[in-house]
Amino acid sequence: MQQEPPCSACGRPSRTTGVIHDPDHGSRWFDQCRECFLATPPTLRVPPGRFLEELRKVAAAARLRLCAYTDEGGWEGE
């Protein structure tokens, strides 16, 4: 656990680890270095507008202040 596993994309030491869900092989760890992590866009299972709507509801229920930033054009419906 003291070692950093290699990046799944380029082989450099990884800094982030996530889970990917492959239909053929099931859930797998996916290690990435900083550069590959930043170059990989996040994927959401729901449209971004719906994700933000649900996130706002959860934040309000928990009485947390939420500020969400998007690019200049924003997302459709936002």
State pLDDT tens for residues 8-62: 888 898 888 888 887 888 888 888 888 888 887 777 677 777 888 888 899 999 9
Q: Which residue has the tokens 């380029």?
A: 10
Three state DSSP letters for the chain: CCCCCECCCCCCECCEEEEEEECCCEEEEEEECHHHHHHCCCCCCCCHHHHHHHHHHHHHHCCCCCCCCCCCCCCCCC
pLDDT for position 58: 92
What does pTM read for this prediction? 0.44
Q: What is the pLDDT of residue 66?
A: 85
